[in-house]
Structure 1
Amino acid sequence: MATSVRHASDNKSYMMAATPIKKIVIVGGGTAGWMAAATLAQHYRRAELQIQLVESEQIGTVGVGEATVPGIINLNSYLGIRERDFIAATGATFKLGIEFIDWRQRGERFFHPFADFGAPIGQLPFFPCWLKLQQQGRAAPLQDYCLSAAMAKAGRFAQPDEKASNPLALYSYAYHFDASRYARLLRDYAEARGVEHIEGKVSEVKLHTGSGDIDQLLLEDGRQLRGDLYIDCSGFRGLLIEQTLHTGYEDWRHWLPVDSAVAVQSERSSEPLPYTRATALDAGWRWQIPLQHRSGNGYVYASDYLDRDRAQRALLDGLDGEPVNEPRLLRFTAGMRKKFWHKNCVALGLASGFIEPLESTSISLIQTGIEKLLQFLPDLVPDPEKIEQANHLNRQEYERIRDFIILHYKLNRRDDTDFWRRMRDMPIPDTLQAKIEAFRDDGRLLSYANESFREASWLAIYNGLGLRPQRYLANVDNMDSDQLAQLLERVRGAVAAAAAHAPRHGEFLAQLQMD
């Protein structure tokens, strides 16, 4: 039975089947397509559901996303992929966070760890206690009180002890890995669970004349594919969600004008570091991502301020090892689809939107997009209200990440290029302005719903870029400064000792693969 559904967002009526979805067609492979295929196959393994993935060898994938945030650990665990097998299959290394170089001013650096700084002192949060002593000139740098930051600085890595009672020992980690190898691993996983892989290029998308839903896909060789739900993993072009359904795109270039990247792989000349490095350059920033077998490198820049040739020269001149492939140019527009779920189509990955590579959110957004699909499609019966909820949550998530990325640029104090002056002086979203003002006032870490980055991450960027609160919590003055200094020194000493005890990152990787 079909029911007529009116969406307030587009004020159009169309027919949506009230019967369970029996077939899902995924358009596009790569990381997004095979993440979706593997997760859907696992999640709906007991349902009568057919999953097809169609991709064409003629259409390449972007495939440069090699750094992640900690959430990917949960995905691999859900799929039952052992960490040791994942690392061996993808050439992965561990990631404790990101080191930022030259972002506030040339010659300065700071670290964004996947962890808190310090630990509560009595009933007081650590940061205002540190701030009091910092204002007195009696505190070490904030990152000295974070174990993962200390390990990263020393090139060391150890996995957190889940049974640890000391909050200093609690931290998260992520990975660097070869995205194309990860896609192959997930493809093997998905096909072993019944996902049908179809090699072919979609030449035409036909719509249902009554509902406007996607009705079928025509391939160049004449084959026809029909599904009840279509997942668009076709990359920036958005073959289904945009070129066919014309969902619309929200352009954020006025806040994030970086629109190009030149990427290249290089030989690794030293032991891999357990973190990503992001170095600010004249018109953007350079990433350096260490894998076991090579390094990933790229220069993300604003084409209004730099041309491709100069960007490529700057990238190649900064490599630690010899390049192993030709540099690739990528162009993009920061922003998001106005809906990631429209009619009977869900967009994932670059088809859904793209903010920029800073803070490694691209693969994470694929994962959370899949999670929203599963959350709001529990019984495989589409519900218009749930679709609207999913779109609302997706928008919130993108906007929160957008604000976090803008923060990195807004607080810079560089005055050496037009790009950095523009980024410092530009108007910013009201939601971000409110956060900055709250922190500047008294150190409050204002949070909204559906934040992807925890308060500690915001603190790392505020502090690293030199934003200091004008005052701290009044009840911190109830603690004697000398006593407080002794407590903080014990914390710093415990962190330094624990970091020194951890093995070198390369040693840890070698031992993991021997066990």
Structure 2
Amino acid sequence: MAAAAISRVLGEMPGLAIELVESEAIGTVGVGEATIPQIVLFNKMLGIDEAEFMRETRATYKLGIEFVDWLHPGHRYVHPFGSYGLDMKGIEFHHFWLKGRALGDATPLDAYSLAIVAGVQGRFAHPRPDQPGSPLSKLGYAFQFDAGLYARFLRRLAEANGVRRTEGRIVTAERDAENGHVAAVVLDSGTRIAGDLFIDCSGFRGLLIEGEMQAGFEDWSQWLPCDRAVAVPCANGGDRQPLTRSTARAAGWQWRIPLQHRIGNGYVYASAHLSDDEAAATLLAHLDGAPLGDPRFLRFAAGHRRRAWVGNVVALGLAGGFLEPLESTSIHLVQSAIARLLTYWPTQRFDQREIDRFNAAHVADYLDIRDFLVLHYKATQRRDSAFWDYCRTLAPPPGLAEKLAIFGANGRVFREGEELFTETSWLSVMVGQGAVASGYHPAADLLSDAETLARLAHIRHVVAETAALLPAQDDVLRRIGCDLLEAAA
């Protein structure tokens, strides 16, 4: 991602040479297969044709994330990409929904989202901003793709933009005696590669950012106790909805990501509450098709590097930190850091004030996402395991505690500055996880009770009617030339 983006944006800069060092002998995590809508902008910035991208990466579309059994067993809701209903009287739609609940209308919030209704039915269409009166105008979407195929796709783009790729494994680094910067890396072949700026994409190891620059790590395990994952793809089976599914389990949660040719699966769990063997057995027992390989185990700690940029080393992806992929944010954090690096692209003076700003924004990204992830665990009614007892009773971070208190008082949802998740996202998960608002915005009473209920019914009807007219996702994929593998009979 970094090589493709930097070469695309800065490739014509005089004297700039970009060298990508990779080793086929080193495996990648390769399970970050679900994304959020910002990836659409990243691909557009790279000049990628969406149809070609869908074919090359065996991708499917994504309208949201379905959460199963998170509030309690048997319950489900969807965090959608897009909006709910229609704002009225200058205030957000959900206040009228809350008023409707007070009047006895028990319709779930999900019924007012086109992304949810269409997604559950397996339907998809692109947004239509040219139709402001339609629910399609505010639809958002993302992708689910084969991460390995996406990497190869981007490698071809980068090389076409002049990036030089070198095969090899880095075994050591040389430092400048005067300023402490990394002067060069040395490969296992003995090849020495010098550079002015080094972007560390070495995963959890943090080969340069931690091994050389000792950036430090902020551990958030107290709030996010899951520290293991086991992953395995399986043959297609069940549905191919344009949704990522997260199902709560006894000691964590299981992901399900339907692609064109297979389904990605994994169980994120807390090793303090579950053994590796038990996790693998649970995962294998809940697949939609035959496993396509042996389970792969990952170990991690939730948190971030205290400084993602030190000297002339910038860390991206897992080298910069890790938050479990509950809301599909891993690839976004890479994308966000690349955009920030392009904004603060250094001269050889490496201005420390700019580096400090980069690092502050890096920490803010992780903080915003952390609080949103903790919400899923904290706001639950599950009492069926020691893991869920721990999560339900933990003291939330201050920012999350404030958001929950404000919503509980009057149904208000606040977004801080430029934080990633919108008011819609916070509303979706707070309501989905059982948070209850004791009131609503007073302006909702500007509509009579009867008109409020009538408008709610009309909005539900328009959403349902629009969803029913959309094509099946599989038809959309076939129309752009995708070769779909169907479930075995």
TM bin (shorter chain): over 0.9
Correspondence for 1:425 among 393, 396, 401: 393
Aligned residue in 2 for 1:307: 275
Equivalent residues in 2 for 1:245-256, closer than 5 Å: 245-256=213-224
Aligned residue in 1 for 2:487: none
User: Alpha-carbon deviations, 1:427-452, whole Å to 9, x = none?
Assistant: 11111111111111111112212311
User: Alpha-carbon deviations, 1:145-181, whole Å to 9, x = none?
Assistant: 1111110121111111121112622111001000000
- C-alpha displacement of 1:212: 1.0
Native 8 Å contact 1:203 1:220 kept in 2: yes
- C-alpha displacement of 1:124: 3.1
Q: Secondary structure in 2 aligned to 1:374? A: helix
Q: Secondary structure in 1 aligned to 2:159? A: helix
Equivalent residues in 2 for 1:290-369, closer than 5 Å: 290-369=258-337
Aligned residue in 1 for 2:344: 376
- C-alpha displacement of 1:113: 0.2
User: Alpha-carbon deviations, 1:208-253, whole Å to 9, x = none?
Assistant: 1111111111112211111000000000000000011111000000
Aligned residue in 1 for 2:428: 460
Aligned residue in 1 for 2:9: 43
Aligned residue in 2 for 1:19: none
- C-alpha displacement of 1:475: 2.4
Aligned residue in 2 for 1:258: 226
Native 8 Å contact 2:412 2:441 kept in 1: no
Equivalent residues in 2 for 1:20-99, closer than 5 Å: 35-48=1-14, 49-99=16-66
Equivalent residues in 2 for 1:204-219, closer than 5 Å: 204-219=172-187
**Distance verdict in 2 for CA 1:379–1:211, change over 3 Å:** closer
Native 8 Å contact 1:396 1:450 kept in 2: no
Correspondence for 1:449 among 414, 417, 420: 417
Aligned residue in 1 for 2:449: 481
Partner Cα separation in structure 2 for residue 139 and residue 119 of structure 1: 18
Aligned residue in 2 for 1:12: none
**Once the two structures are aligned, what percentage of the paired residues are identical?**
44
Partner Cα separation in structure 1 for residue 89 and residue 441 of structure 2: 14
Aligned residue in 1 for 2:374: 406
- C-alpha displacement of 1:481: 0.6
Aligned residue in 1 for 2:89: 122
User: Alpha-carbon deviations, 1:110-166, whole Å to 9, x = none?
Assistant: 010011111112323211111011122125211111111110121111111121112
Partner Cα separation in structure 2 for residue 500 and residue 475 of structure 1: 33
Aligned residue in 2 for 1:4: none
User: Alpha-carbon deviations, 1:398-419, whole Å to 9, x = none?
Assistant: 1000000000000010010000
Native 8 Å contact 1:139 1:485 kept in 2: no
Correspondence for 1:241 among 209, 220, 230: 209
Partner Cα separation in structure 1 for residue 165 and residue 154 of structure 2: 12
Aligned residue in 1 for 2:150: 182
Partner Cα separation in structure 2 for residue 465 and residue 75 of structure 1: 31
**Distance verdict in 2 for CA 1:380–1:464, change over 3 Å:** farther
Aligned residue in 1 for 2:407: 439
Partner amino acid, structure 2, of 1:149: I
Native 8 Å contact 2:63 2:142 kept in 1: yes
- C-alpha displacement of 1:54: 0.8
Partner Cα separation in structure 2 for residue 269 and residue 158 of structure 1: 23
Equivalent residues in 2 for 1:154-193, closer than 5 Å: 154-166=121-133, 168-169=135-136, 170-193=138-161
Correspondence for 2:71 among 104, 124, 132: 104
Partner Cα separation in structure 2 for residue 370 and residue 122 of structure 1: 40
Native 8 Å contact 1:393 1:450 kept in 2: no
Native 8 Å contact 2:11 2:162 kept in 1: no
Partner amino acid, structure 2, of 1:98: I
Partner Cα separation in structure 1 for residue 159 and residue 67 of structure 2: 40
- C-alpha displacement of 1:511: 1.3
Partner Cα separation in structure 2 for residue 478 and residue 371 of structure 1: 44
Partner Cα separation in structure 2 for residue 463 and residue 426 of structure 1: 19
Partner amino acid, structure 1, of 2:11: R
Unaligned runs of 5+ in 1: 1-34
**Distance verdict in 2 for CA 1:216–1:441, change over 3 Å:** same
Partner amino acid, structure 1, of 2:207: L
1:499 aligns with 2:467: yes
Aligned residue in 1 for 2:116: 149
Partner Cα separation in structure 2 for residue 343 and residue 260 of structure 1: 32
Native 8 Å contact 1:119 1:167 kept in 2: no
Partner Cα separation in structure 2 for residue 475 and residue 184 of structure 1: 53
**Distance verdict in 2 for CA 1:332–1:492, change over 3 Å:** same
Partner amino acid, structure 1, of 2:256: Q
Partner Cα separation in structure 2 for residue 116 and residue 162 of structure 1: 13
1:469 aligns with 2:408: no
Partner amino acid, structure 2, of 1:87: M
Aligned residue in 2 for 1:198: 166
Partner Cα separation in structure 2 for residue 124 and residue 194 of structure 1: 50
Partner Cα separation in structure 1 for residue 285 and residue 17 of structure 2: 50
Aligned residue in 2 for 1:23: none
Native 8 Å contact 1:130 1:139 kept in 2: no
- Root-mean-square deviation (Å): 1.3
User: Alpha-carbon deviations, 1:183-211, whole Å to 9, x = none?
Assistant: 00000010111111111111111111111
- Between stretches 328-337 and 132-141, larger displacement belongs to 132-141
Native 8 Å contact 2:103 2:449 kept in 1: no
Native 8 Å contact 1:414 1:420 kept in 2: yes
Partner amino acid, structure 2, of 1:275: L
Partner Cα separation in structure 1 for residue 198 and residue 222 of structure 2: 32
TM-score using structure 1 length: 0.92
